[in-house]
Structure 1
């Protein structure tokens, strides 16, 4: 049973999936930073200084006016953090777009490789063995 488990783990698909998960986690950190540090300020600039990450509605509890989301949560207030949700949607859309572009590029590369193989198969490889034997036979008959 242990050998069977080792064989399962050693298969390429499982290893590929593990590498994909690790790279995906690192990529998520990069995209989160991109959104938080670059895109949010630009959106805030165009929206008149609005910071989506601090947009929330107080459901219960006392929160000082203008307090940040973090301060409201630390104060024990129940908050509806719709700004964080908006940022999660933006993160998702950016990640989905980048993954789409990567898959698109990989598919184009695969299609190009398939076309090259197809062209190599279609190219005449010269006369077949049967053709050569037929020519030799005909030459010997003369």
Structure 2
């Protein structure tokens, strides 16, 4: 059983998947930074500095909370539509970045693939008719 497990792990697909997961985790940090540190501030400029992630409506009772975190700490039931909108926006941005990355990788792969050189043509040997004529001529002698 240990031998089978070792063979399974040594297969290329498993190793490729492991490398993909590790690279994916590192890429997640880069994309999160891109969204949080670069794109969201730009969106904030266009929306007048509104941070969507702090937009909420208190559903349970009365309360005037300064932030979503304060409302949650007080135990109030909140409808945090801003956090949801930011999650959707972040997803769309991540999907767009991944799309662009895959498109770029496909372009690089296509450029790397070169057409194989055609094999040099070997000189054609005598045709079947030529061989038969030669045999006939030799038999006459």
Residue 36 of structure 1: aligned partner: 36
Unaligned runs of 5+ residues in structure 2 are 135-141
In structure 2, which of residues 104, 120, 123 is the aligned counterpart of residue 125 of structure 1? Answer: 120
Residue 28 (structure 1) shift: 1.9
4+ residue runs over 4 A deviation: none
Residue 16 (structure 1) shift: 1.5
TM-score, length basis structure 2: 0.75
Residue 93 of structure 2: aligned partner: 94
Counterpart Cα distance in 2 of 1:11 and 1:70? 48
Unaligned runs of 5+ residues in structure 1 are none
Counterparts in 2 of 1:66-81, with a 5 A limit?
67-81=66-80
Alpha-carbon RMSD: 2.6
TM-score, length basis structure 1: 0.75
User: Which one has a bigger Cα radius of gyration?
Assistant: 2
Residue 64 of structure 1: aligned partner: 64
Counterpart Cα distance in 2 of 1:38 and 1:109? 27
Q: Secondary structure at the match of 1:60?
A: coil
- Judging by fraction of residues, say which structure has more helix: 1
